[in-house]
Amino acid sequence: MAGDICDVCGRGNVVGVYSSSLGAISFAYCEECALNDAEPRGICVWQILDCGGLDKMRSDIQLGTRSYMNGAYLSMLEVAESITDQERAKYEKDMNDMAGPGPAET
């Protein structure tokens, strides 16, 4: 584990693998990201889009979840405001891929 890359900030010096507060998945964390209770940006973006927007998320997640981007820790509001068209397109593609073919396509 030492020398591995943190799933939140992309830097090294992973100190542990911890369960996400946003779903049944675990990520590798450096000490700083673990102490900041940060989540990887991808799962934050997915959670926001999957809920249909920040205003539809539980308030404890809106207020208590942070992520990391470009050298700074961001609130969920800041993550929501920074979601790119490319991230939205990836989410839509991933959701379509998970749904599989429709009845007429099988």
Query: In the structure, how many helices (H) and strands (E) does the chain have?
Result: 5, 4
Contacts of 63 (CB under 8 A, 6+ apart): 75, 76
Spell out the domain ranges in the chain.
Answer: 14-99
Mean pLDDT for 76-80 is: 94
CA dist., res. 78 & res. 56, Å (int)? 16
pLDDT tens for residues 52-77? Answer: 998 898 888 888 899 999 999 999 99
